[in-house]
């Protein structure tokens, strides 16, 4: 299981939200590059970079932040937020992302998303399956779709998707523990998919619980910024596991 730190961007700054609420924002760092470089110093290899401005505006906003981090670190970056067209996707890849996470576009423009899987390969396209009350949430979690989570994942599994990031919105930024039952169900139902858990991780023990469930990755954000999990612990966990 790989631990993937998250950097969420609003106004070019590193922030975290609570339950996806833009009005409950906390700024943790003025310079996301410094945060990314600190991750790298502890041997972390991957970064989950989210353009929250872009997710809300439905267009990529913080491309310069991506470019700066990509040019000044060796982190493997997956980028999400506001990618709505093939041109957006190409710009994000050109700016240095190795993978792109798409959620809203997979809901609203399935033919376009499916074409990305064919043209760019399932290794570079991640399905963002964010869930609130069992239903897929989109557009920075300010909208709900008509998709039931597992039906949504199943649909794209048949289209060739491999990587799935699933965030339980009700858990995100709350530091009350991840939705273990949800991830257990997803791993059992989709054993051939790479399920990446996101939301609610509060302590080192949560990482061990998720590892035992069998997810292939876990995204950690607020627990790092609040000091509940140290980068040294993440480094140790990664080396041991």
What amino acid positions are annotated as catalytic residues?
8, 130
DSSP for 8-50, please give it: EEETTEEEEEETTEEEEEEEEES-HHHHHHHHHHTT--EEEEE
Report the alpha-carbon distance of residue 140 to residue 154 in Å, rounded.
Answer: 22
3-class DSSP assignment, residue 58: coil
Ranges of H-type helices in 131-217 = 149-157, 180-189, 204-213
Contact 46, 4 (CB under 8 A): yes
Total count of residues recorded for the chain: 241
Cβ atoms within 10 Å of 237's Cβ, excluding its own: 17
Cβ neighbours around 114 below 10 Å, total: 17
Q: Is the dihedral of CA 182, 128, 217, 72 positive or negative?
A: negative
C-alpha–C-alpha distance, residues 67 and 4, integer Å: 19
Q: Which CA distances in Å does 114 have to 16, 40, 156, 234?
A: 30, 33, 8, 35
CA 66 – CA 96 distance, rounded (Å): 7
């Amino acid at each position: 299981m790989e631990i993937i730190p998250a950097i969420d961007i609003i106004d070019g700054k590193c922030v975290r939200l609570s339950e996806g609420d833009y009005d409950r924002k906390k700024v943790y760092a003025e310079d996301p590059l410094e945060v990314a470089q600190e991750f790298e110093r502890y041997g972390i290899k991957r970064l989950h970079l989210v353009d929250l401005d872009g997710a809300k505006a439905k267009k990529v906003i913080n491309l310069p932040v991506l470019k700066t981090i990509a040019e000044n670190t060796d982190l493997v970056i997956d980028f999400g937020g506001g990618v709505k067209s093939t041109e957006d996707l190409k710009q994000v890849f050109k700016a240095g992302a190795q993978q792109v996470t798409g959620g809203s576009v997979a809901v609203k423009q399935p033919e376009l998303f499916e074409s990305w899987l064919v043209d760019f390969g399932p290794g570079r396209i991640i399905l963002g399956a964010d869930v609130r009350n069992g239903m897929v949430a989109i557009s920075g979690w300010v909208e709900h779709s008509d998709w039931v989570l597992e039906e949504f994942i199943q649909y794209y599994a048949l289209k060739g998707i491999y990587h799935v990031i699933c965030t339980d919105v009700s858990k995100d930024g709350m530091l009350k523990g991840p939705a273990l039952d949800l991830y257990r169900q997803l791993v059992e139902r989709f054993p051939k998919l790479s399920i990446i858990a996101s939301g609610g991780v509060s302590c080192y023990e949560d990482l061990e619980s998720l590892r035992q469930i069998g997810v292939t990755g876990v995204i950690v954000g607020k627990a790092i910024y609040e000091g509940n999990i140290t980068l040294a612990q993440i480094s140790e966990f990664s080396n041991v596991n």
